[in-house]
Structure 1
Protein backbone atom coordinates (compact mmCIF):
# COMPACT_ATOMS: atom_id res chain seq x y z
CA UNK A 1 0.00 0.00 0.00
CA UNK A 2 3.03 2.22 -0.36
CA UNK A 3 1.71 4.00 -3.47
CA UNK A 4 -1.63 4.69 -1.80
CA UNK A 5 0.02 5.96 1.39
CA UNK A 6 2.42 8.23 -0.47
CA UNK A 7 -0.25 9.74 -2.68
CA UNK A 8 -2.59 10.30 0.28
CA UNK A 9 0.12 12.17 2.19
CA UNK A 10 0.59 14.39 -0.88
CA UNK A 11 -3.17 14.99 -1.41
CA UNK A 12 -4.39 18.58 -1.39
CA UNK A 13 -7.15 19.48 1.10
CA UNK A 14 -10.18 21.56 0.10
CA UNK A 15 -13.06 22.86 2.17
CA UNK A 16 -16.62 21.81 1.32
CA UNK A 17 -18.47 24.01 3.75
CA UNK A 18 -17.41 22.81 7.19
CA UNK A 19 -16.13 19.50 5.78
CA UNK A 20 -12.43 19.17 4.92
CA UNK A 21 -12.01 16.93 1.92
CA UNK A 22 -8.85 15.43 0.43
CA UNK A 23 -8.56 15.36 -3.37
CA UNK A 24 -7.05 12.08 -4.54
CA UNK A 25 -7.20 9.58 -7.44
CA UNK A 26 -9.10 7.12 -5.20
CA UNK A 27 -11.84 9.63 -4.37
CA UNK A 28 -11.88 12.06 -7.31
CA UNK A 29 -9.78 10.66 -10.17
CA UNK A 30 -7.62 13.77 -9.67
CA UNK A 31 -4.85 13.74 -10.47
CA UNK A 32 -5.13 10.91 -12.98
CA UNK A 33 -5.51 7.37 -11.71
CA UNK A 34 -2.37 5.35 -12.27
CA UNK A 35 -2.70 1.62 -13.12
CA UNK A 36 -0.23 0.61 -10.39
CA UNK A 37 -2.45 2.27 -7.75
CA UNK A 38 -5.52 0.37 -9.00
CA UNK A 39 -3.61 -2.93 -9.01
CA UNK A 40 -2.34 -2.26 -5.50
CA UNK A 41 -5.89 -1.59 -4.26
CA UNK A 42 -7.43 -4.61 -6.02
CA UNK A 43 -4.75 -6.89 -4.58
CA UNK A 44 -5.31 -5.46 -1.11
CA UNK A 45 -9.08 -6.01 -1.41
CA UNK A 46 -8.37 -9.67 -2.18
CA UNK A 47 -6.45 -9.91 1.10
CA UNK A 48 -9.23 -8.46 3.31
CA UNK A 49 -12.44 -9.99 1.88
CA UNK A 50 -13.56 -13.57 1.26
CA UNK A 51 -14.18 -13.57 -2.48
CA UNK A 52 -15.25 -17.23 -2.41
CA UNK A 53 -18.51 -15.98 -0.86
CA UNK A 54 -19.15 -13.45 -3.67
CA UNK A 55 -21.14 -13.86 -6.90
CA UNK A 56 -21.07 -10.21 -7.95
CA UNK A 57 -19.44 -6.92 -7.00
CA UNK A 58 -21.61 -3.82 -6.59
CA UNK A 59 -20.56 -0.21 -6.23
CA UNK A 60 -22.16 3.23 -6.19
CA UNK A 61 -21.62 5.75 -8.97
CA UNK A 62 -19.19 7.31 -9.38
CA UNK A 63 -16.06 6.90 -7.29
CA UNK A 64 -16.34 3.19 -6.59
CA UNK A 65 -16.49 2.31 -10.28
CA UNK A 66 -12.76 2.22 -11.00
CA UNK A 67 -12.13 0.11 -7.88
CA UNK A 68 -14.90 -2.36 -8.75
CA UNK A 69 -13.65 -2.56 -12.35
CA UNK A 70 -10.05 -3.25 -11.28
CA UNK A 71 -11.15 -5.91 -8.79
CA UNK A 72 -13.50 -7.46 -11.37
CA UNK A 73 -10.73 -7.67 -13.96
CA UNK A 74 -8.34 -9.20 -11.44
CA UNK A 75 -10.82 -11.79 -10.10
CA UNK A 76 -13.22 -12.42 -13.02
CA UNK A 77 -16.16 -11.55 -10.75
CA UNK A 78 -18.70 -9.37 -12.63
CA UNK A 79 -19.77 -6.01 -11.23
CA UNK A 80 -22.76 -3.68 -11.38
CA UNK A 81 -23.10 0.01 -10.60
CA UNK A 82 -25.85 1.73 -8.61
CA UNK A 83 -26.44 4.60 -11.03
CA UNK A 84 -27.46 8.22 -10.41
CA UNK A 85 -30.32 8.01 -12.88
CA UNK A 86 -33.31 5.75 -13.23
CA UNK A 87 -33.67 3.46 -16.24
CA UNK A 88 -37.16 2.27 -15.43
CA UNK A 89 -36.40 -1.45 -15.56
CA UNK A 90 -38.91 -3.68 -13.81
CA UNK A 91 -36.50 -4.85 -11.10
CA UNK A 92 -34.97 -1.40 -10.47
CA UNK A 93 -34.62 -0.37 -6.82
CA UNK A 94 -34.17 3.26 -5.73
CA UNK A 95 -31.54 4.07 -3.11
CA UNK A 96 -31.52 7.35 -1.18
CA UNK A 97 -28.00 8.04 0.09
CA UNK A 98 -26.89 10.72 2.52
CA UNK A 99 -23.16 11.20 3.06
CA UNK A 100 -21.13 13.66 5.10
CA UNK A 101 -21.27 16.20 2.27
CA UNK A 102 -24.02 15.23 -0.21
CA UNK A 103 -27.43 13.65 -0.76
CA UNK A 104 -28.38 11.65 -3.88
CA UNK A 105 -30.70 9.11 -5.40
CA UNK A 106 -29.15 5.97 -6.83
CA UNK A 107 -30.79 3.13 -8.77
CA UNK A 108 -29.83 -0.54 -8.65
CA UNK A 109 -30.48 -2.96 -11.51
CA UNK A 110 -29.22 -6.42 -12.49
CA UNK A 111 -29.23 -8.14 -9.09
CA UNK A 112 -30.77 -11.59 -9.13
CA UNK A 113 -32.60 -13.20 -6.24
CA UNK A 114 -30.12 -14.93 -3.92
CA UNK A 115 -26.98 -13.39 -5.43
CA UNK A 116 -24.21 -12.82 -2.90
CA UNK A 117 -22.70 -9.37 -3.22
CA UNK A 118 -19.53 -7.53 -2.29
CA UNK A 119 -20.01 -3.77 -1.97
CA UNK A 120 -16.87 -1.81 -2.92
CA UNK A 121 -16.41 1.94 -2.53
CA UNK A 122 -13.74 4.59 -2.19
CA UNK A 123 -14.37 6.07 1.28
CA UNK A 124 -16.39 5.21 4.38
CA UNK A 125 -16.88 8.23 6.65
CA UNK A 126 -20.42 8.35 8.06
CA UNK A 127 -21.68 5.10 6.53
CA UNK A 128 -24.59 6.79 4.76
CA UNK A 129 -23.92 5.22 1.36
CA UNK A 130 -23.30 1.76 2.79
CA UNK A 131 -26.45 1.92 4.95
CA UNK A 132 -28.56 2.89 1.91
CA UNK A 133 -26.98 0.15 -0.21
CA UNK A 134 -27.62 -2.50 2.48
CA UNK A 135 -31.31 -1.68 2.53
CA UNK A 136 -31.63 -1.52 -1.25
CA UNK A 137 -29.72 -4.76 -1.85
CA UNK A 138 -32.05 -6.56 0.55
CA UNK A 139 -34.96 -5.18 -1.49
CA UNK A 140 -33.49 -6.64 -4.71
CA UNK A 141 -33.42 -10.16 -3.24
CA UNK A 142 -29.63 -10.13 -3.19
CA UNK A 143 -27.53 -10.64 -0.09
CA UNK A 144 -24.73 -8.32 0.92
CA UNK A 145 -22.09 -10.72 2.29
CA UNK A 146 -18.98 -8.50 2.17
CA UNK A 147 -18.27 -4.76 2.15
CA UNK A 148 -14.91 -3.10 1.60
CA UNK A 149 -13.66 0.43 1.08
CA UNK A 150 -10.26 1.76 0.18
CA UNK A 151 -10.25 4.40 2.94
CA UNK A 152 -11.97 4.62 6.33
CA UNK A 153 -12.12 8.35 7.05
CA UNK A 154 -12.40 9.67 10.61
CA UNK A 155 -14.65 12.71 10.75
CA UNK A 156 -15.47 13.06 14.42
CA UNK A 157 -19.07 12.07 13.64
CA UNK A 158 -20.55 8.84 14.94
CA UNK A 159 -21.11 6.52 11.93
CA UNK A 160 -24.56 5.04 11.34
CA UNK A 161 -25.29 1.50 12.51
CA UNK A 162 -24.61 -1.04 9.78
CA UNK A 163 -25.74 -4.67 9.52
CA UNK A 164 -22.36 -5.70 8.08
CA UNK A 165 -18.73 -5.21 9.01
CA UNK A 166 -16.97 -2.94 6.54
CA UNK A 167 -13.37 -3.83 5.74
CA UNK A 168 -11.02 -0.97 4.88
CA UNK A 169 -7.47 -0.83 3.56
CA UNK A 170 -6.32 2.34 5.30
CA UNK A 171 -7.82 4.55 8.00
CA UNK A 172 -7.11 8.27 7.75
CA UNK A 173 -7.91 11.61 9.31
CA UNK A 174 -7.19 15.18 8.30
CA UNK A 175 -5.06 16.95 10.89
CA UNK A 176 -3.77 20.50 10.45
CA UNK A 177 -4.61 20.44 6.74
CA UNK A 178 -2.84 17.15 5.98
CA UNK A 179 -3.91 13.54 5.53
CA UNK A 180 -2.64 11.40 8.42
CA UNK A 181 -2.65 7.60 8.11
CA UNK A 182 -3.96 6.05 11.32
CA UNK A 183 -4.15 2.37 10.41
CA UNK A 184 -2.95 0.08 7.61
CA UNK A 185 -5.13 -3.03 7.78
CA UNK A 186 -3.50 -4.63 4.76
CA UNK A 187 -0.15 -4.89 6.58
CA UNK A 188 -1.85 -7.09 9.19
CA UNK A 189 -3.77 -9.12 6.57
CA UNK A 190 -0.65 -9.99 4.59
CA UNK A 191 1.62 -10.88 7.54
Structure 2
Protein backbone atom coordinates (compact mmCIF):
# COMPACT_ATOMS: atom_id res chain seq x y z
CA UNK A 1 0.00 0.00 0.00
CA UNK A 2 2.81 2.40 0.90
CA UNK A 3 4.56 1.84 -2.45
CA UNK A 4 1.30 2.47 -4.31
CA UNK A 5 0.78 5.70 -2.37
CA UNK A 6 4.33 6.87 -3.13
CA UNK A 7 3.91 6.12 -6.84
CA UNK A 8 0.56 7.91 -6.96
CA UNK A 9 2.02 10.90 -5.08
CA UNK A 10 5.02 11.12 -7.42
CA UNK A 11 2.73 10.86 -10.44
CA UNK A 12 0.42 13.60 -9.11
CA UNK A 13 3.36 15.89 -8.32
CA UNK A 14 4.73 15.29 -11.83
CA UNK A 15 1.45 16.57 -13.28
CA UNK A 16 2.48 20.07 -12.14
CA UNK A 17 5.35 20.29 -14.63
CA UNK A 18 4.95 23.36 -16.85
CA UNK A 19 1.46 24.29 -15.66
CA UNK A 20 0.60 27.98 -16.12
CA UNK A 21 0.12 30.51 -13.34
CA UNK A 22 -2.27 33.39 -14.00
CA UNK A 23 -3.06 36.57 -12.10
CA UNK A 24 -6.72 37.30 -11.45
CA UNK A 25 -8.48 40.41 -10.18
CA UNK A 26 -6.79 42.04 -7.23
CA UNK A 27 -3.46 40.34 -7.92
CA UNK A 28 -4.67 36.88 -6.86
CA UNK A 29 -2.14 34.32 -8.25
CA UNK A 30 -3.78 31.15 -9.47
CA UNK A 31 -2.29 27.93 -10.86
CA UNK A 32 -4.15 26.25 -13.73
CA UNK A 33 -4.16 22.47 -13.27
CA UNK A 34 -6.48 19.98 -14.98
CA UNK A 35 -7.86 18.72 -11.64
CA UNK A 36 -8.58 22.24 -10.38
CA UNK A 37 -9.72 23.80 -13.65
CA UNK A 38 -10.61 21.02 -16.11
CA UNK A 39 -8.31 22.40 -18.82
CA UNK A 40 -6.72 21.58 -21.13
CA UNK A 41 -7.99 18.07 -20.27
CA UNK A 42 -8.30 15.79 -17.27
CA UNK A 43 -5.88 12.91 -17.75
CA UNK A 44 -7.52 9.78 -16.34
CA UNK A 45 -4.24 8.47 -14.91
CA UNK A 46 -3.75 11.71 -12.97
CA UNK A 47 -7.37 11.60 -11.77
CA UNK A 48 -6.96 7.98 -10.69
CA UNK A 49 -3.76 8.76 -8.76
CA UNK A 50 -5.45 11.70 -7.03
CA UNK A 51 -8.58 9.68 -6.24
CA UNK A 52 -6.48 6.83 -4.84
CA UNK A 53 -4.65 9.19 -2.48
CA UNK A 54 -7.85 10.92 -1.37
CA UNK A 55 -9.62 7.55 -0.89
CA UNK A 56 -6.80 6.43 1.40
CA UNK A 57 -7.34 9.55 3.54
CA UNK A 58 -11.12 9.01 3.60
CA UNK A 59 -10.51 5.43 4.78
CA UNK A 60 -8.02 6.76 7.35
CA UNK A 61 -10.80 8.93 8.80
CA UNK A 62 -12.92 5.81 9.21
CA UNK A 63 -15.10 6.47 6.17
CA UNK A 64 -18.39 8.35 6.24
CA UNK A 65 -22.03 8.00 5.28
CA UNK A 66 -21.79 10.73 2.66
CA UNK A 67 -19.16 12.67 0.72
CA UNK A 68 -19.92 16.33 -0.03
CA UNK A 69 -18.23 18.58 -2.57
CA UNK A 70 -18.85 21.94 -4.19
CA UNK A 71 -19.64 22.60 -7.82
CA UNK A 72 -17.68 22.39 -10.01
CA UNK A 73 -14.10 21.12 -9.87
CA UNK A 74 -14.64 18.97 -6.80
CA UNK A 75 -17.03 16.86 -8.87
CA UNK A 76 -14.60 14.75 -10.97
CA UNK A 77 -12.45 13.95 -7.94
CA UNK A 78 -15.41 13.15 -5.69
CA UNK A 79 -17.03 10.95 -8.35
CA UNK A 80 -13.84 8.89 -8.63
CA UNK A 81 -13.44 8.67 -4.84
CA UNK A 82 -17.08 7.65 -4.45
CA UNK A 83 -16.57 4.84 -6.94
CA UNK A 84 -13.41 3.67 -5.13
CA UNK A 85 -14.89 3.81 -1.61
CA UNK A 86 -18.53 2.96 -2.26
CA UNK A 87 -19.61 6.08 -0.36
CA UNK A 88 -22.37 8.11 -2.08
CA UNK A 89 -21.90 11.83 -2.62
CA UNK A 90 -23.83 15.07 -2.86
CA UNK A 91 -22.91 18.20 -4.80
CA UNK A 92 -23.39 21.65 -3.31
CA UNK A 93 -24.61 23.82 -6.18
CA UNK A 94 -23.97 27.42 -7.21
CA UNK A 95 -27.61 28.02 -8.10
CA UNK A 96 -30.85 27.41 -6.32
CA UNK A 97 -33.37 24.84 -7.45
CA UNK A 98 -35.96 26.10 -4.97
CA UNK A 99 -36.45 22.63 -3.53
CA UNK A 100 -37.71 21.95 -0.03
CA UNK A 101 -34.87 21.69 2.45
CA UNK A 102 -32.40 23.65 0.33
CA UNK A 103 -30.01 25.71 2.45
CA UNK A 104 -28.22 28.83 1.18
CA UNK A 105 -24.79 29.75 2.53
CA UNK A 106 -22.40 32.55 1.60
CA UNK A 107 -19.10 31.67 -0.09
CA UNK A 108 -16.18 34.10 -0.23
CA UNK A 109 -13.06 33.01 -2.10
CA UNK A 110 -9.84 34.77 -3.05
CA UNK A 111 -11.46 36.24 -6.14
CA UNK A 112 -15.27 36.15 -5.76
CA UNK A 113 -18.28 36.08 -3.47
CA UNK A 114 -21.42 34.07 -4.15
CA UNK A 115 -23.98 31.77 -2.63
CA UNK A 116 -23.90 27.99 -2.43
CA UNK A 117 -27.01 25.86 -2.18
CA UNK A 118 -26.91 22.75 -0.01
CA UNK A 119 -29.51 20.01 -0.37
CA UNK A 120 -28.46 16.84 1.41
CA UNK A 121 -30.51 13.65 1.58
CA UNK A 122 -32.56 13.23 4.75
CA UNK A 123 -31.29 11.28 7.69
CA UNK A 124 -28.31 11.34 9.93
CA UNK A 125 -24.72 10.35 9.48
CA UNK A 126 -21.21 11.62 9.14
CA UNK A 127 -19.98 13.66 6.18
CA UNK A 128 -16.49 14.02 4.77
CA UNK A 129 -15.99 17.10 2.61
CA UNK A 130 -13.79 16.74 -0.48
CA UNK A 131 -12.48 19.58 -2.62
CA UNK A 132 -9.81 20.25 -5.20
CA UNK A 133 -8.15 23.37 -3.73
CA UNK A 134 -7.93 25.01 -0.30
CA UNK A 135 -6.86 28.59 -0.89
CA UNK A 136 -8.57 31.03 1.47
CA UNK A 137 -10.83 28.58 3.26
CA UNK A 138 -13.97 30.36 2.07
CA UNK A 139 -15.48 27.42 0.22
CA UNK A 140 -14.69 24.97 3.02
CA UNK A 141 -16.23 27.31 5.61
CA UNK A 142 -19.40 27.58 3.50
CA UNK A 143 -19.59 23.81 3.00
CA UNK A 144 -19.13 23.16 6.72
CA UNK A 145 -21.82 25.71 7.57
CA UNK A 146 -24.26 24.19 5.08
CA UNK A 147 -23.63 20.63 6.25
CA UNK A 148 -24.14 21.73 9.86
CA UNK A 149 -27.40 23.51 8.99
CA UNK A 150 -28.52 20.27 7.32
CA UNK A 151 -28.07 18.56 10.71
CA UNK A 152 -25.11 16.47 9.59
CA UNK A 153 -21.75 16.19 11.33
CA UNK A 154 -18.55 16.93 9.42
CA UNK A 155 -16.06 14.19 10.24
CA UNK A 156 -13.26 15.86 8.30
CA UNK A 157 -12.18 17.33 4.98
CA UNK A 158 -9.75 15.97 2.41
CA UNK A 159 -8.28 18.53 0.03
CA UNK A 160 -6.23 17.70 -3.03
CA UNK A 161 -4.17 20.91 -3.29
CA UNK A 162 -3.51 23.09 -0.22
CA UNK A 163 -2.46 26.69 -0.95
CA UNK A 164 -2.91 27.78 2.69
CA UNK A 165 0.17 25.97 3.98
CA UNK A 166 0.32 25.87 7.77
CA UNK A 167 -2.64 28.26 8.04
CA UNK A 168 -4.86 25.26 7.26
CA UNK A 169 -4.14 23.96 10.80
CA UNK A 170 -5.70 27.13 12.24
CA UNK A 171 -8.69 26.77 9.92
CA UNK A 172 -9.06 23.16 11.08
CA UNK A 173 -9.09 24.32 14.70
CA UNK A 174 -11.69 27.01 13.95
CA UNK A 175 -13.97 24.60 12.09
CA UNK A 176 -13.58 21.79 14.63
CA UNK A 177 -12.63 18.96 12.29
CA UNK A 178 -9.43 17.65 10.68
CA UNK A 179 -8.35 18.98 7.30
CA UNK A 180 -6.03 16.65 5.43
CA UNK A 181 -4.34 17.71 2.20
CA UNK A 182 -2.51 15.63 -0.38
CA UNK A 183 -0.16 18.30 -1.79
CA UNK A 184 0.97 21.69 -0.51
CA UNK A 185 1.18 24.14 -3.41
CA UNK A 186 2.91 27.51 -3.20
CA UNK A 187 2.41 29.95 -6.07
CA UNK A 188 5.05 32.59 -6.76
CA UNK A 189 6.21 34.73 -9.65
CA UNK A 190 8.33 31.80 -10.80
CA UNK A 191 5.46 29.30 -10.92
CA UNK A 192 4.47 26.58 -8.46
CA UNK A 193 6.35 24.73 -5.77
CA UNK A 194 4.66 21.42 -4.97
CA UNK A 195 5.49 19.12 -2.04
CA UNK A 196 3.66 16.37 -0.16
CA UNK A 197 1.39 18.02 2.39
CA UNK A 198 2.59 18.28 5.97
CA UNK A 199 0.89 15.92 8.41
TM-score normalised by L of structure 2 = 0.85
User: In the alignment, what sits opposite 1:38?
Assistant: 47
Q: CA RMSD in A?
A: 2.1
Cα contact 1:9–1:178 (8 A) shared by 2: no
Q: What residue is the counterpart of 2:3 in the other structure? A: none
1:116 and 1:156 mapped to 2: Cα distance? Answer: 26
How big is the shift at 1:155?
7.8
Summarize the alignment of residues 97-176 of structure 1 with structure 2, pairs less than 5 Å apart.
Answer: 97-154=107-164, 160=171, 161-176=174-189
Report the Cα offset of residue 157 of structure 1: 7.9
**Matched residues in 2 for 1:107 and 1:93: separation?**
6
Q: Does 1:77 align with 2:87?
A: yes
Check conservation: 1:64, 1:122, Cα contact below 8 A. yes
* CA apart distance, 1:51: 5.4
Q: How many residues align?
A: 186
Residue 2 of structure 1: CA displacement? 2.1
Matched, 1:14 2:12: no
CA distance in 1, matches of 2:120, 2:91: 9
- Does structure 2 conserve the Cα–Cα contact (< 8 Å) formed by 1:111 and 1:141? no
Alignment of 1:5 onto 2:13: yes
Deviations 1:118-138 (A, max 9, x none): 100010111111111111111
Matched, 1:178 2:191: yes
Aligned partners of 1:118 and 1:138: how far apart in 2?
A: 12
Write the distance in 1 (CA, Å) between the matches of 2:165 and 2:111. 11
* 1:51/1:163 CA distance change after superposition, 3 Å: closer
Give TM-score, length-normalised by structure 1.
0.89
CA contact 1:12–1:22 (8 Å) conserved in 2: yes
Q: Which runs of 5+ in 1 are unaligned?
A: none
Shift of 1:70: 0.5
Please give the per-residue CA displacement for 1:46-77, whole angstroms capped at 9, x wherever unaligned. Answer: 22233534011110001100110010111111
Residues of 1 paired with 2:129 and 2:141: CA distance? Answer: 11
* Separation in 2, partners of 1:122, 1:67: 7
